[in-house]
Each structure stands twice: as C-alpha cells, then as structure tokens.
Structure 1
C-alpha cells in the first residue's frame, strides 16, 4: 500500500472518522460532518467509504461510484473522502481504527456516529475496545435521542460523557470519552433515496 494514496494527517491533529457505505452520500452526511467539525474540536474529518457493511446483507453500489459521488458532494478542504478501508482490507470499525493508529502514529482519531448507531453500538464487533481506545462523538437525530441515551453503551459509559460545552474538548480527551450533541437533522437517508429510485451511481445528482 503506497503512502501517497492515503489521506494526509500530521502528528497532533484531531481527525474525525465518519464511516459508512454512503450508498448514496447525501446532504445529511454533509450536515453532520460540518456540525462535528464545529462541535467536537476537530481539525479534519475523513469519510471512510466502506467496501461493504458487515451488518447488511445487500451489496452497495460499486465503490468507485460511491467515492465519486461523495467527492462531488462534500466540497470542503477540511474533509477527505477515502477508500482506506478497501486499501487496508479492514471491514469492522475496530479493525479500521487499529490500522489507522498504526499508519498514523501521533494523530488523534475521534469516531463519529449518529444517535441511531449508538442505540445499537453494543452489537458492534469489539465495541468496548472502541469506546476505550478513541473518543466517540454522537450526533442526534430527533427520533433517536431517547433510545440512544438509554442504550447499553450510554449507560455503561455514562461517567465518561462530556456534557455541554465540554464536548468541544472531545478531540483532546483521553478515552473512554464521548459526547452527545443534539442538532437539527436533515430528514433524508440513503435508504429513502434508494427506495425512491433517485440513486443510480456516480452520474446521478443527489440532494
């Protein structure tokens, strides 16, 4: 794997990691990315466009098409769209974080997720290891706030939560540390776009 093909990050930088199939990417992804940069004290965000989600049975659109669509949509010098999971051969979040920590010594990574993911986080592979290795930033969708706050992960790690303005310190905090931020969310999802037939790969205009 050639280093020139990988995203760049300097020692001491705080990089938020937003993983997913991005099938397709949409304005909601852009919205939570910009919010995370502002709310969690991040220097950069990487969109980790995955080859496929181990928890989903249906294969996504071809990786090259999803990457191209994401790069057209997310235009911000602080954000990098990458297929690094395909390059490292990792499938699960814990594996990806391990690989990135080995590739980027001295870079501080923060895992980003929606509140719906926090609600089911305890079903992820090595989820406790993730919580105890990197800070986690959670951005709340209106309909998922209560279930996320009552989730096993939220209850077990309740003492590690950074509340209010302290969430801005997340990028410099030592794990376990997590923050939960409410914000107005765009009511759009990749599954809805696919169901409506508005996603046919790299050449299609997305909301």
Structure 2
C-alpha cells in the first residue's frame, strides 16, 4: 500500500452497557497519543459475552449524550445496523473500503489482545488495520507464543510510524486506566443508587437514559 500521512482513524468498540468515564478517558487519551479521530463503535451481538442489558437504541442514546460538547470522539453505529454477531474483521474490511489508504487503528485492551487468537479470522486483522494495544503505564503486556510470533516484526514505538502505511503494525499505548466496572454500575442502578462521577454527566441530564437499569 502506498505511503500516506493522513490522520489515522481509530476504532474503539464495546457494548457500552452503559458507557462510562473509564471508556471515555481511555479513548480520549488514545486519540491524543495517536493524533487520531476515535470512533466509539457499540457492538450489536458480541460473540464473546452475554447480550447487553440495554437495547441498541438505548445504548446509542447514552453514547450521544456522553459525547456532547467535543469533537475528538465520535460515534459509529454500523455494527448495530448489521444482523448477526459483530465480528471485528467484517467491520474493518468495510471501513477499509470506505477510507481508502487512510491508516486504521483498532484499539484493544491488553487483556483482550492476549486472547486475539480466539477471534474470528484474527490473522486477517493486520491486513486491514494497525492494532493499538491499550496498556498500563510501565507495565509490559505479556502475550501467548502464537501471538508473539505474529506481531514480532510488526511492533513500532512511535505513533508517527502508523501514518506511513494503512495497516499491519502494532503499537502499545500507555493509557491511564480508570477502574470502573459497567457491571458494578448496573448493580448500583438496580439498587436505586446514583453512580455519579462514574458516568458522564450527560447521562444524568435525562432521567430516561438510565431507565434500562432501574427496577
């Protein structure tokens, strides 16, 4: 693929059930480190976990409220508009067709990345995107041997290196994790409690946004 210096597009997926400050802070920091647009992409039917408690429409409404007032993080709902499981490779192939030579970066946590060999058509991910592994500052992630062999010659140290090609590289991004659990937030809401400062302020502006988790 020819060299390019176009600003990268990074994808940060998840169920966002609900979206919380841990999601947003990590996505924002990755955007700064990569100097990239980051799209939050809610999954429809996640292949590796139980279905979300909130519906697709409800999760999109929460994300829209959470993302108000800034332009660095945006929303992409394409996986909700497809039927069947949300396979990352299908999404990235679709984005590659749309974006041409623009660098694409799949953002993924270190723990999830270690399980990449269990993903659908995982080796093909590097053909259509770079991968940005979100890790804790000062902590080097450990990956299984099969994965180490695949990424050995793909590692880069500096985000600028991702701009020279559209796909195929791996970069570790040291981000500051906020230990916030969506499961715990749902429990608090079911109990009738108010998880303020765990959720973005916009979710409290409309009481109906958190209704899926209230009794």
TM-score by length of 2: 0.76
TM superposition shift of 1:159: 2.0
Where structure 1 has 5 or more consecutive residues not aligned to the other structure, the ranges are 1-10
1:105 is aligned to 2:111: no
Deviating 4+ runs (over 4 angstroms): 198-202
TM superposition shift of 1:185: 0.9
Q: Is the 8 A contact 2:104 2:167 kept in 1?
A: no
Where structure 2 has 5 or more consecutive residues not aligned to the other structure, the ranges are 190-194
SS in 2 for 1:48: strand
SS in 1 for 2:96: helix
Q: Is the 8 A contact 1:17 1:47 kept in 2?
A: yes
Counterpart position of 1:71 = 64
Q: Is the 8 A contact 1:110 1:171 kept in 2?
A: no
**Distance in 2 between residues matched to 1:22 and 1:110, nearest whole Å:** 19
1:31 is aligned to 2:25: yes
For these two proteins, the number of residue pairs brought into alignment is 190
Counterpart position of 1:167 = 159
TM superposition shift of 1:20: 1.0
Q: Which has the larger radius of gyration?
A: 2
Instruction: Return closer, same or farther for 1:28/1:59 CA change in 2, 3 Å cut-off.
Output: closer
Counterpart position of 1:153 = 147
TM superposition shift of 1:105: 2.8
1:181 is aligned to 2:173: yes
RMSD: 2.8
**Distance in 2 between residues matched to 1:63 and 1:82, nearest whole Å:** 12
